Amino acid sequence: MPNRKLTEKQKEKQRNLQLLNLEQILDRQPLRVSPDTAIASVIECMGIVDSSLQPDAGTSEFEAIGRFSCALIVLADRLLGIFTERDLVRLVAEDADLSAMPISAAMTQPVKVLRRSQIGTVFTVLSYLKQNHIRQVPIVEDSGSLVGIVTQTTVRRAMQPFNFLKVRQVGDVMSTAVVTALPGQNLTAIAQQMHQRRVSCVVITEAKCQSGQSLKKPIGIITERDIVQFQAMGLPLSETLAQAVMSTPLFLVTPQDTLWSVNRMMEARHTRRLVVGDHAGRLAGIITQTSLLEPLDPLQMLEELEQLQTLSETQTERLSQANLQLQQTNQVLQKEVDERRRLESALQRANQLLEAQVGDQAAELVKANESLRLEVQDRQQAQHELEQFFVVTPNSMLCIAGLDGYFKRINPAFSQVLGYSDDELMAKPFVEFIHPDDLTATLREIQQLSEGKPTISFENRYRCKDGRYRWLNWNAIASPAEGTIYAAARDITQQRQTELALKRQYQQGQLIGNVTRRIRESLEIEEILKTAVTEVQSILNCDRVLVIEREGDASGQVIEESTLPGIKPALLGQPVSGLALAIIPDPSVPQICASGDLSQHPCTLCSHQFLNQFQIRASLEVAIYVQNQPWGLLVASQNEVARQWQPFEIELMEQLADQMGVAIAQAQLLDNLEAIVKQRTAQLTQTNERLQLEIQERISTENALKESQQQLGNILKTAGDAIISIDEAQQIVMFNQGAEKIFGYAAKEIIGEPLEKLLPDAFRRVHKQHIRSFGLASDASRQMAERSRDVFGQRQNGEEFPAEATISRSQTKTGLLFTVMLKDITERRQSEAALRRSEEQLRLTTDALPVLICYVDADQRYRFINKTYADWFGQSVEAMMGRLVREIIGDSYYQQTQPYIEKALAGQAVQYELAIAGAAGEVIDLSATYIPDQGADGKVKGFFGLISDISDRKANERLQNEFISMVSHELRTPLTSIHGSLKLMSMMIGDSNSKEKELVAIALKNTDRLGRLINDVLDLERIESGRVSMTRQDCNLAELMQHTAQAMAPMALELNVKLVVEPIDITISLDPDRIIQTLTNLLSNAIKFSPSRANVILSATEREQDVLLCTKDSGPGIPADKTELIFERFQQVDSRESRRLGGTGLGLAICKQIVLQHGGKIWVESELEKGSAFYFTLPKLRNQLP
């Protein structure tokens, strides 16, 4: 609101508003804790609610909800930080480990505070809270010492005597941006929502469909205070669902309610916030304590009071004018009254005459009028009480119905129980909602109501909106004259279900008892089995019941059968295969299988083929165990039709199978009793002999034990790890040399001291609880690190250090003895931290590179990718980690790269180029390098991948090739004409003109050279562009080498160079023309650059994977910086010498492309003034590989 000068009247009103002072809103006893206090202890204090305070009209929310909404961290009366409910929600959302965290690590600092000298009025505090968006502000002296704290709760409590809120409505200040969650979400997820959205609560909603529209209906609420309470109680927030702990039912307010009524409701309900709903129960917003404080702006309140004052003055002026008019009217009326008095005196005389006649009639009319007035009041009171009864009785289903069969009025409980809206229930006759089986009885009850008889505890079923039926218990009376029924109902569905379950359980218990008694009465196995199948068939009323006895691991035989009358027993003696019975039964895995339809869900205990053979459609199979050994199966079956086995039938079969196992064991025990007695006698004799031996062995064992204990004592003393024993009182009774070295205490100093002396303060209370719980646990030893990330110890000099610890428990004569084995892992943690920093640096470096980097394991799953790799495929790094390469890059791309991936996983370094189609259909050229990652054992664990986009480079190469091709074609035509013309000129020039003839010869030589250059350019362009494919065939390499040497012999003879061939007899798949072209180019260069009478050698060597070919010369050699460059286009070591010898600069480039097309590689090794050796490889045939 813009600033404006206050009038004297406004200033006076503001002074009246300054009745509140700081002391009225100040809490001088906030929760104060030291910086090293464990955060768990702070949460416990914040979560405590004084159960002795019973909320009533005089108990504020500040007292009833919880004493502390925040904790102040204070050291030497100096405020260091603050810890609020919102901070705890942040920690829960971040999944922080709170068990060992001190409050100093989680507090908010610096703290926003107000100095006492800065506070002019209570509105100074309110403005400060609003400007900084906080709910509490500590108050300090100018010296910095803490005075107390002001919270929204203390302000709201102090504002109770004022009625500023009566003039504002909920809709003016409520927040419509409400954060919602579903009932099935866990508390950790809800805490993360609170932290991310920075809100103090989350409304739990469920989707409802009303009038064809989907709406969110609020059903509960989770607040920061709830998170504090649940954390203090130790609930596992990640496993606790909102629907189990949310605050419900909700108390809704409407946007039209005043803030004054909302404030009173918050006090009555002891809450800090209320959910706002519209007329349809739909979520409209939320109002909190912060919302209530928004109207308390001094200038805004002054403006509203000014408006009220103006309105009051206007109304006073209007009343004054009206009073003047009334005085004038009164004078006129006074005259009329005098005249009326005169007339009245005349009428009185006439009235006295009439009074005697009508006195009795008037008295009767007055009496009748008074009776009618009282009756109207009684009816109005009854109607009001009925209205109140409908509103304040939410748990009972109350209704008014007509004898015409329609509801006239219902309370909200009907919608809550049945799921229909009020309009849907009142739009149809109520008999349409009644279960068909209960309709006749209901109509009979309505008939009795119409005759004036009341209904007491009548029960029927009503259909819910979801199709289920609910049992209702009715009490009703009717007014036949009005055609109205007044009824109250209770939902007794749970009660009826419980009664039905108890009845079924009682009947099942009786059946089990009778069958068990009949089975136990017999000690003959055949009679036991016969009785069992007969009783089961009778109880379940199924087509056939079988007993299958197990004979082998997975085979058995039907030894007993019972069927329905009319069904002929046909399975007795039949062999059964495919039994699946566990040798040792697992109590957690029931050996039972129930299938209502074997064609859809085959059973697992018995062979499906066996059951299908006899047209069995549904089966219930239970394993029979005798003394924990699989004996056989009890099978109930239904032929031809499916059957849904009920839970009590499954439980009955399971119990009968157990009883059969016991009875069979008893019968077997009786049959073998004599043999057992003889066996036991022999065993006793043997046992006696063994006891004699054991006594002697025990004496030896005790001696060995003493020696072992002495050795163990020596080991404990010299062990490098700390070994500490404590008694039940957690006093140290043993402290070895390793412990002395780690903790710095001597054994004589620490023995007898409490174990907590070796622990940091923050861990002492938690450690005591851990020892006590371990003393009651079933396991004899455990890792102490299970309760937190690390165990921490404290040395004698106060230094804390991380450790790994194992605790074990043993029972001694004096009680429990706990032994802790502890290892100092300070260096390991430092190494891990350094490794994490190194990994993070590597991650940052690889993410900054513009190339795609990855690591793929032996299962072809991504174990590392940089951000560039993830961005290339449009996914996040987290989404790609651990997934298969094929899933990420797609089948088409994977089929192209699969051979290279397999080579890399086979241990070969791979480098290749590949063209793929992009998302927009463009062609993308990639260059990839795979480097295998081999372990110390030589086994390949995966490979590193480095992929670059070379599309721009390839595009430039294609443009260059196209340009060269075009230029070459354009030159060929005029060059041919020039060459022909020169030939004619050479013929026309006579021998006498030798100078002209020499010039023409030079021109012819150069045109020949240009022709070869053009041909080489075209060959190279066609090979690189892929327009010339290698036509491979199996060729003898020796024949190719000899053929090439013969073709080059004239040139060698002309230059006086000796050509030496060293062939090998091997067949290789290659393009013979292109390989001869390669050899010719290499031999041509070797001959041209070799001195006279030198040797040029052409040789071949067979290697493991390929064949190596070599041409050696004795020429001038090639500088080391040009050994790679000469294989590029138009690159020559000495261009003038090459021009003299007729070189084009393209021969080696063509050789390189031909060799690469064959899957080989080419290189040169040279030494200046000594010659050069050109090598290239050709892959061998598959059948030639080792």
Residues 539 and 478 grouped into a single domain:
no
Count the neighbouring beta carbons within 10 Å of the beta carbon of residue 1135.
Answer: 12
Mean pLDDT score across all residues of the chain = 79
Residues in contact with 606: Cβ distance below 8 Å, sequence separation at least 6, in sequence order:
548, 576, 578, 579, 580, 593, 619, 621, 633, 635
Rounded to an integer, the average pLDDT of 1082-1102 is 92
CA torsion angle 1015 1017 1018 1019 (round to 10): 80
How do residues 732-749 score in pLDDT, each as one tens digit? 888 888 888 888 898 888
Which residues share a beta bridge with 82?
72, 108
What is the identity of the amino acid at 172?
A: D
Could you tell me if 533 and 571 lie in one domain? yes
Residues 244 and 167 in one domain: yes
Q: How do beta strands 1095-1102 and 1058-1062 pair? A: parallel
Residue at 657 is within a domain: yes
Q: How far is C-alpha 257 from the chain's CA centre?
A: 41
Identify the pLDDT of residue 1020: 67
**Band of pLDDT at residue 327, cut at 50, 70 and 90:** confident
Which residue type, as a one-letter code, is found at position 174?
M
Amino acid 57: pLDDT: 34
CATH code: domain of residue 1040: 3.30.565.10
Asked if residue 314 belongs to a domain, the reply is yes
Q: 1023 is written with which tokens?
A: 């090979």
Nearest to 272 by CA among 24, 57, 92, 62: 62
Listed range (14-23, 47-56, 509-518, 776-785) with the worst mean pLDDT: 47-56
**Which CATH number characterizes residue 590's domain?**
3.30.450.40
Please tell me the predicted confidence (pLDDT) of residue 392.
45
One-letter identity of residue 1010:
L
Q: Is the pLDDT of residue 606 over 80?
A: no
pLDDT digits (tens, 9 = 90+) for 564-601: 888 888 788 888 887 877 766 665 566 788 888 888 88
- Encode pLDDT of 418-474 as tens digits: 999 989 989 999 889 999 999 999 999 989 988 888 988 899 999 999 989 999 999
Q: Which of helix, strand or coil describes residue 579?
A: coil
Tell whether the model's pLDDT for residue 1062 goes beyond 80.
yes
Q: Are strands 940-949 and 1095-1102 parallel, antiparallel or unpaired?
A: unpaired
Q: Do 1122 and 1161 fall within a single domain?
A: yes
Q: 412 and 355, same structural domain? A: no
For 243, other C-beta atoms within 10 Å of its C-beta total 15
Does residue 8 form part of some domain?
A: no
Does residue 97 form part of some domain?
yes
> CA angle, corner 305, sides to 300 and 309, nearest 5?
150
Same domain, 839 and 814: no
Q: Are residues 60 and 157 in the same domain?
A: yes
- Predicted local distance difference test score (pLDDT) of residue 307: 56
- What is the average pLDDT across 281-295? 76
The domain boundary residue, chosen from 671, 699, 730: 671
Does 989 fall in a domain?
no
Please name the residue ranges forming H helices in 270-297: 289-293
Q: How many domains does the chain have?
A: 7
CATH for 924? 3.30.450.20
* 1082 domain residue, yes or no: yes
Q: Does residue 71 share a domain with residue 154?
A: yes
Inter-residue long-range contacts of 485-490, CB under 8 Å, 24+ positions, other chains counted? 485/400, 485/401, 485/402, 485/403, 485/446, 485/449, 486/400, 487/398, 487/399, 487/400, 487/401, 487/455, 488/396, 488/397, 488/398, 488/399, 489/396, 489/397, 489/399, 490/396, 490/397
Name which of 157-161, 214-218, 858-862 the model is least confident about: 157-161
Cα maximum dimension of the chain: 184
Tens digit of each residue's pLDDT (9 = 90 or more) over 1112-1152: 999 888 898 888 888 887 777 664 554 455 556 778 888 99
Residues in a beta bridge with 945:
854, 930
Residues in the chain: 1186
Checking if the pLDDT of 51 tops 50, the result is no
- CA 589 from chain centre, in angstroms, equals 28
Q: Is 475 helix (H, G, I), strand (E, B) or coil?
A: strand
Task: Report if residue 208 sits inside a domain.
Answer: yes
Q: Are residues 634 and 755 in the same domain?
A: no
Query: Which domain covers residue 311, as residue numbers?
Result: 307-383
Percent of the chain with pLDDT over 90: 14
Rg (CA), the chain: 51
Query: pLDDT digit string (tens) for 1153-1167?
Result: 889 888 899 999 999
Residue 80: its H or E element: strand 78-84
pLDDT at residue 159, as a whole number: 62
The pLDDT value recorded for residue 26 is 85
What stretch of H or E contains 999?
helix 994-1025
∠ CA 1160-1165-1171 to the nearest 5 degrees? 130
pLDDT at 161 over 60: no
Separation CA 572–CA 549 (nearest Å) = 11
Cβ of 863: how many Cβ atoms within 10 Å?
Answer: 14
Q: Enumerate residues 6+ apart whose C-beta is below 8 A from 267.
A: 60, 61, 160
- Domain co-membership, 787 together with 911: no
Residue 930 has pLDDT above 90, yes or no: yes
Give the domain-ending residue among 471, 491, 511: 491
Greater pLDDT, 487 or 979: 487
Q: What is the pLDDT of residue 53?
A: 36
Instruction: Give the pair of three-digit tokens for residue 408.
Output: 């006239």
What pLDDT band is residue 1175 in, cutting at 50, 70 and 90?
Answer: very high
CB atoms near residue 283 (< 10 Å): 21
| End position of a domain, from candidates 824, 839, 864 | 824
Identify the CATH number of the domain in which residue 182 sits. 3.10.580.10
Task: Read off the DSSP letter of residue 830.
Answer: H
Q: Say whether both 165 and 48 belong to one domain.
A: yes
Domain-embedded: residue 963: no
Helices 224-233 + 39-47 axis angle, to 10: 120
Percent of the chain, pLDDT > 70? 78
Pair 227, 264 in one domain: yes
Whose structure tokens read 């690590």? 105
Six token digits for residue 194: 């609170």
Confidence check: pLDDT of 780 > 80 = no
